Homo-oligomer: A and B are copies of this chain.
Amino acid sequence: MVHGTNEGTATVTSKPRISLDAMGGDKAPEVVIQGAERALEGNPNLELILVGDQDQLNPLLKKTRLLKNVVRIIHTDEAVDPTAKVSQALRSGKNTSMWKAIELVNNGEADAVVSAGNTGALMAMSKLQLRMIEGVTRPAIASFVPTQNGRCCILDLGANLECDEHNLVQFAIMGSAFSRFLQNIDRPTVGLLNVGEEDQKGFDYLRAAAETLRRDDLPVNYVGFVEGSDFSSGTVDVIVTDGFTGNIALKTAEGVAQLVRAFLRRAFAANIFTKIAYLFARPALARVRSMINPNAYNGAVFLGLNGISVKSHGGTNAFGYANAIGVAADMVKNGYLPEVSQAIAKANLILNEEKRDENG
């Protein structure tokens, strides 16, 4: 069995212990500390561990109300270069705040890790230390986007450029469990991203994945192919795709949301009449802004690893960072890891048995 040493510690708990890479992110360590404080305000049961340069952390901690009394600091003055390639980051790695923060999960001192640092490095270091859940062939990055009637979980967002049908089936299982726990939906609906809803559309591997997902005995409530517009329409709770397409679709969606915000700003700044109108419209516009605020959806998760590792957007603010901590805490509290491990094991059993039957 290939399991991390953290087996048995990352179980269901109401007091999640979360290690934070305090030096990762564009505005680290300030935003990390502010985000941690904010997360504590919302959930006083959190146990937070800051990994980073104590000379920078201590003065910032002094300004906090809650965090300074409960936080533990693990000191290191090294950090992963945000622009480093994965191979570089790994070579210079074991004394960095990122590596050490993940290490705490690996050796059972924390239940989850959050970092706003270099995505590639976080993925690689998480994979190396936490390893994969038994039976998972590829990890996937998952996150939420706003929709007409709530939010939708999308995966993979870039862990794997190319995926085959087996990867996609596993992503569907991992994404279902993620969506169930974070959205409190009993049987989340799952769609496969394609260029049309008709069964004959798309690549062979998409149609093969669809055929498997339609089986009743898999722990997935598969509804069919979905299109790019279903990112926002709320048709399904989970959208499964390869990392290339998912990454581009997510960034396209973020770009359009930003474009509309810019157009709104421009339209209301156009002349004295629109400026006056803005004063009246401000509450409604603020409501819309909050509905498409990327910080509200911050916290992408590496699913499929045998430990919980959450990536915060590098440029997020305290509100966004607190949300990423919230994602990690929810996964720990709801026992995501044991649940998904069982689901994957069950699915592999079913699919392998079928294969054995076919081979005689």
Interface residues of A (CB under 8 A from B): 85, 146-148, 158, 161-162, 193, 195, 200, 202-203, 227-233, 241, 243-245, 247-260, 262-264, 267-268, 270, 273-274, 276-278, 280-281, 283-285, 287-288, 291-292
List 18 A-B residue pairs with CB atoms under 8 Å apart, sorted by A's residue number: A146-B259, A147-B259, A158-B195, A161-B195, A161-B203, A195-B247, A228-B252, A228-B255, A229-B255, A231-B256, A232-B252, A245-B245, A252-B253, A260-B292, A263-B287, A273-B283, A280-B281, A281-B285
A161 to B193, CA, bound (A): 13
A296 to B185, CA, bound (A): 39
Question: Is there contact, CB below 8 Å, between A270 and B249?
Answer: no
A85 to B292, CA, bound (A): 37
CB closest chain-B residue, reference A198: B85
A162, A193, A291: most-surrounded residue (chain B CB, <10 A): A291
A148 to B280, CA, bound (A): 25
Q: Which residues of B contact A232 (CB under 8 A)?
A: 252, 255-256, 258-259
A147, A158, A258, A285: most-surrounded residue (chain B CB, <10 A): A285
Question: Is there contact, CB below 8 Å, between A277 and B280?
Answer: yes
A285 to B161, CA, bound (A): 39
Question: Is there contact, CB below 8 Å, between B277 and A255?
Answer: no
Question: Is there contact, CB below 8 Å, between B202 and A227?
Answer: no
Closest chain-B Cβ to A212's Cβ sits at a distance in Å of 20
Q: Which residues of B contact A228 (CB under 8 A)?
A: 247-255
| Contact for A285 among B230, B247, B267, CB less than 8 A | B267
